[in-house]
């Protein structure tokens, strides 16, 4: 293993060249600050950290008096900037503690006196170490911000955006997990809205992208290497064609170590989840023969749903429940039990959970509410401790239960659902869970599972992703979540799963700002949703803007074949639809194919003279079924076309079901020949188009009535997954 070194260049490990960092120097600075009870480093201390990690900063020095400041300015060279150095003053500009563009000894002397006076007036109790004298950065560079924060969900994340005084106004910033790779850093440079500025505009040269990406990598590594660093703020960083310089450095340190969440190995997760989702034996604690009781509803759903395994009711006051022998305690149940479903009040859960643990049952499904969601945090912490002591995984509490359709398992007190399919759905909310169920029923979407997560005292999204990623009955995973307990574990599980099947996430709380007080620009910019947005994209997850979008993506993605290229062609019977579909293509990051001359001529053979080839291909509204069929067939046949978007306009000449039948038939013919392309359709017309859309959907053509946006959004989601899975080139 390579030792820490004071070299700021690079060191070679085997065949890989990696930066060499002086971790010992950083450790010494941090230990000294923490020993003094400080939560912020001074500017000179920050300079020691940036030097140790090879982050370029201007020449500088610390002056304790005006004469020192003049001497330093002479040595550094005019012009210079002066900045107050105090462990108690974080925002130097607010305190009047900054002067820039000083060009003479007299200006430096006057600025020193003014800065110290302003600082004492701003905070009379502040400790003042002196004044930092710093080389002025040459004009002409682009101001950017590079920083790292400790996010409560994802841990250390690195941020990049346009810097300067407008950084918190523009909020044009992007985030990645730290430490960031050079590939991550490059994607950050292209990930802000003003990315074009970095490439050079209005005659200004492009910035040195390699140097800027390298600085991002080094700053992210600094934060990742030292858990006690809470925030690193390099603002402004001046980026130019000649390189980068971090003009101001602010480092905050945490007061204590963060509490570590218990982590399970992949094998442990899969072992428990397989027994949860494919149980042979289920015990219902609190089972009841009385209609209207939750324990009765769970028993009825298990029995009526046809669960083939053993069902053991547990109730100390009954001998028989719904024709099944009842047991006084779970300890009396014979043989092994895979899952214990709890249908008892919260206050009785700890004692019953102790018995579940002693019995060796690996999973407890906690339906009851009355835990952390009602302020009973101590009670929830107690059951978590009991479960950890006995090796029991907890699903819930405060959930509606769960469905595992391929096992004919309906362990819930809600409406039964048994239509088997390839979509696994999870929700943190019971109400959202029932919306999922209703949507699945109305759209005939078969599911492999529906799982409630509730308070997520233990089992959460990364556990289920790990299982569903391996489940042969699941082809798409959709998750409603309000938060993530362990964002890093989620990203790790998502990256593994996305390579095999798409993940759609609806993150609630999209519009809420980060409410915590922040000590730096980076911290203030790291609102919860901004970080979620970028990190979920980095993980390859498809984020849905709303509940219906999540459900439609989950329904449609398994239906669509994976695209083999970027060329999308629109074939439409209405010019207006063609324009809207074109807008939707752009909005979803898709590429309208530039039609080559030979293909243009081929399309023109089938459309009337007053139609329009090109892209969209407008066959006009009065055309018979044969025109639709001929143009769709050409779109399927030409290997240069990778996806088709169809726009149908309801006419008596070509009724909706005629269009649906011919489209489904043509697509099926090509699939039999081994030619599979994603085909989506927008149908405008009277209510008959609803039946036509359902017909198409059932036959592998994703079709929607009354909307041009939805089918293209679904196609865009399929493309985003294909890129994230490495099945298609280009950025996601």
Contact 319, 326 (CB under 8 A): yes
pLDDT, tens digit (0-9, with 9 covering 90-100), for 585-611: 999 999 999 999 999 999 999 998 888
pLDDT, tens digit (0-9, with 9 covering 90-100), for 320-331: 999 999 999 999
pLDDT at 558: 96
Of 270-284, 379-393, 429-443, the one with minimum mean pLDDT is: 429-443
Contacts with 306 (C-beta within 8 Å, 6 or more apart), sequence order: 408, 418
Among residues of the chain, what percentage have pLDDT more than 90? 81
144 pLDDT band (50/70/90 cuts)? Answer: very high
Separation CA 650–CA 163 (nearest Å): 53
Q: How many CB atoms lie within 10 A of CB 121?
A: 10
Contacts with 35 (C-beta within 8 Å, 6 or more apart), sequence order: none
Average pLDDT over residues 416-424: 93
Q: Which helix (H) or strand (E) holds 10?
A: strand 10-13
Is the predicted pLDDT of residue 14 greater than 90, yes or no? no
Per DSSP, the three-state class of 507 is strand
pLDDT, tens digit (0-9, with 9 covering 90-100), for 500-516: 999 999 998 766 443 34
Contact 644, 635 (CB under 8 A): yes
CA-nearest of 118, 113, 99 to 67 is 113
Residues in the chain: 732
Separation CA 519–CA 149 (nearest Å): 10
Average pLDDT over residues 171-177: 91
- C-alpha distances in Å from residue 180, one per residue of 141, 148, 216, 298: 24, 10, 8, 47
pLDDT at 527: 54
What are the tokens at 166?
């407008």
517 pLDDT band (50/70/90 cuts)? Answer: very low
pLDDT at 296: 98
pLDDT, tens digit (0-9, with 9 covering 90-100), for 455-500: 999 999 999 999 999 999 999 999 999 889 899 999 999 999 999 9
pLDDT at 20: 82
4 pLDDT band (50/70/90 cuts)? Answer: very low
Q: What is the 3-state secondary structure (H, E, C) of 317-358?
A: CCCEECCEECECCHHHCCCCCCEEEECCCHHHHHHHHHHHHH
Separation CA 722–CA 705 (nearest Å): 26
Work out the widest C-alpha separation in the chain, in whole angstroms.
Answer: 98
Is the predicted pLDDT of residue 102 greater than 60, yes or no? yes
Contacts with 480 (C-beta within 8 Å, 6 or more apart), sequence order: 426, 427, 428, 429, 432, 436, 505, 506, 508, 547, 550
Average pLDDT over residues 148-171: 82
pLDDT at 9: 41
Which long-range contacts (C-beta less than 8 Å, at least 24 apart) are formed by 165-174?
167/235, 167/521, 167/525, 168/521, 168/524, 168/525, 170/194, 171/525, 171/530, 173/145, 173/525, 173/530, 174/534
Q: Taking all residues of the chain, what is their mean pLDDT, rounded to a whole number?
A: 91
Separation CA 156–CA 62 (nearest Å): 31
pLDDT, tens digit (0-9, with 9 covering 90-100), for 525-577: 555 688 999 999 999 999 999 999 999 999 999 999 999 999 999 999 988 99
pLDDT, tens digit (0-9, with 9 covering 90-100), for 236-266: 899 999 999 998 899 999 876 667 778 899 9
pLDDT at 210: 96
pLDDT at 43: 87
Phi, psi of 65 (to 5 degrees): -145, 170
Separation CA 660–CA 83 (nearest Å): 71
CA-nearest of 530, 523, 462 to 496 is 462
Given the DSSP bridges, would you call strands 447-452 and 401-404 parallel, antiparallel or unpaired? antiparallel
Phi, psi of 724 (to 5 degrees): -65, -35
Separation CA 278–CA 407 (nearest Å): 6
pLDDT at 8: 40
pLDDT at 609: 87
- C-alpha distances in Å from residue 730, one per residue of 187, 557, 565: 12, 20, 10
Separation CA 464–CA 453 (nearest Å): 10
Of 88-92, 170-174, 418-422, 542-546, the one with minimum mean pLDDT is: 170-174
Tokens 């570590």 appear where? 260
CA-nearest of 691, 697, 569 to 640 is 569
pLDDT, tens digit (0-9, with 9 covering 90-100), for 48-63: 999 999 999 999 999 9
Separation CA 272–CA 392 (nearest Å): 9
Separation CA 727–CA 499 (nearest Å): 9
Average pLDDT over residues 439-453: 92
pLDDT at 509: 78
Q: What is the 3-state secondary structure (H, E, C) of 272-296?
A: HHHHHHCCCEEEEECCCCCCCCHHH
Contacts with 42 (C-beta within 8 Å, 6 or more apart), sequence order: 85, 86, 87, 129
Separation CA 693–CA 662 (nearest Å): 13
Given the DSSP bridges, would you call strands 243-246 and 229-240 parallel, antiparallel or unpaired? antiparallel
pTM: 0.89
CA-nearest of 160, 187, 220, 153 to 538 is 187
Residue 561 falls in which region: left (phi positive, over 0), alpha (psi -120 to 50) or beta: beta
End-to-end CA distance of the chain: 35
What is the DSSP secondary-structure string of 166-210? THHHH--EEEEESSPPHHHHHHHHTTSTTHHHHT--TTPPPP-HH
Question: b or e along 423-456 (b: 16 or more beta carbons within 10 Å of the residue's beta carbon)?
Answer: bbbbbbbbebbbbbbebbeeeebbbbbbbbbbbb
């Amino acid at each position: 293993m390579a030792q820490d070194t004071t070299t700021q260049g690079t060191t070679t490990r085997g065949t890989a060249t990696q930066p060499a960092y002086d971790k010992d120097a950083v450790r010494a600075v941090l230990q000294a600050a923490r020993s003094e009870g400080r939560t912020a480093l001074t500017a000179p201390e920050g300079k020691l950290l940036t030097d140790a990690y090879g982050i370029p900063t201007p020449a500088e020095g610390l002056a304790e008096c005006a004469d020192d400041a003049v001497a330093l300015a002479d040595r550094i060279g005019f012009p210079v900037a002066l900045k107050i150095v105090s462990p108690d003053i974080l925002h130097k500009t607010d305190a009047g503690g900054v002067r820039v563009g000083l060009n003479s000894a007299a200006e430096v002397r006057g600025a020193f006196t003014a800065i110290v006076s302003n600082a004492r007036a701003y905070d009379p109790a502040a400790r003042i170490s002196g004044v930092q004298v710093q080389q002025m950065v040459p004009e002409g560079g682009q101001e950017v911000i590079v920083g790292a924060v400790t996010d409560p969900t994802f841990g250390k994340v690195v941020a990049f955006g346009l810097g300067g005084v407008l950084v918190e106004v523009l909020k044009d910033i992007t985030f990645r997990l730290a430490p960031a790779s050079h590939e991550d850093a490059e994607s950050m440079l292209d990930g802000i809205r003003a990315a074009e500025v970095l490439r050079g505009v209005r005659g200004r040269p492009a910035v040195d992208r390699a140097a800027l990406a390298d600085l991002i990598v080094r700053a992210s590594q600094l934060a990742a290497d030292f858990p006690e660093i809470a925030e690193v703020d390099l603002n402004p960083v001046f980026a130019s064609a000649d390189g980068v310089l971090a003009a101001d450095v602010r480092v905050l340190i945490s007061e204590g170590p963060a509490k570590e969440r218990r982590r399970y190995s992949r094998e442990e997760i899969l072992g428990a989840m397989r027994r949860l989702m494919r149980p042979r034996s289920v015990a219902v604690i609190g089972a009841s023969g009385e209609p209207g009781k939750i324990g009765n509803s769970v028993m009825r759903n298990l029995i009526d749903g046809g669960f083939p395994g053993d069902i053991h009711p547990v109730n100390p006051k009954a001998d028989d429940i719904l024709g099944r022998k009842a047991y006084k305690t779970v300890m009396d149940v014979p043989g092994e039990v895979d899952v214990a479903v709890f249908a008892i009040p919260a206050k009785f859960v700890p004692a019953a959970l102790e018995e579940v643990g002693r019995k060796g049952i690996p999973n407890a499904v906690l339906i009851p509410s009355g835990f952390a969601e009602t302020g009973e945090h101590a009670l929830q912490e107690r059951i978590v401790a009991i479960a950890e002591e006995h090796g029991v995984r907890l699903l819930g509490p405060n959930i509606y239960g769960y469905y595992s359709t391929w096992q004919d398992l309906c362990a819930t007190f809600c409406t039964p659902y048994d239509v088997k399919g390839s979509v696994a759905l999870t929700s943190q909310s019971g109400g959202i869970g029932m919306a999922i169920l209703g949507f699945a029923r109305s759209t005939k979407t078969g599911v492999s599972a529906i799982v409630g997560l509730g308070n997520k005292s233990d089992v959460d999204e990364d556990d289920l992703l790990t299982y569903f990623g391996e489940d042969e009955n699941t082809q798409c995973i959709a998750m409603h979540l309000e938060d993530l307990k362990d964002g890093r574990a989620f990203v790790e599980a998502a990256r593994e799963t996305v390579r095999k099947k798409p993940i759609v996430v609806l993150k609630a709380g999209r519009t809420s700002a980060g409410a915590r007080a922040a000590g730096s620009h980076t911290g203030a910019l790291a609102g919860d949703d901004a970080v979620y947005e970028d990190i979920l994209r980095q993980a390859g997850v498809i984020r849905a803007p709303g509940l219906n979008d999540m459900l439609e993506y989950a329904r449609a993605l398994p239906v669509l074949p994976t695209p083999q290229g970027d060329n999308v062609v629109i074939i439409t019977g209405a010019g207006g639809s063609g324009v809207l579909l074109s807008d939707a293509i752009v909005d979803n990051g898709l590429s309208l194919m530039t039609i080559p001359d030979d293909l243009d001529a081929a399309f023109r053979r089938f459309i009337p003279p007053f139609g329009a080839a090109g892209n969209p291909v407008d066959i006009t509204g009065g055309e018979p079924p044969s025109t639709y069929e001929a143009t769709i067939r050409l779109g399927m046949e030409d290997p240069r076309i990778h996806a088709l978007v169809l726009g149908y306009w309801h006419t008596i000449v070509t009724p909706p079901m005629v269009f649906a039948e011919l489209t489904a038939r043509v697509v099926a013919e090509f699939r039999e020949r081994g030619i599979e392309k994603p085909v989506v359709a927008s149908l405008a017309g009277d209510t008959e188009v609803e039946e036509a859309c359902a017909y198409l959907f059932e036959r592998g053509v994703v079709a929607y009535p009354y909307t041009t946006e939805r089918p293209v959004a679904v196609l865009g989601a399929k493309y985003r997954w294909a890129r994230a899975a490495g099945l298609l080139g280009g950025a996601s």
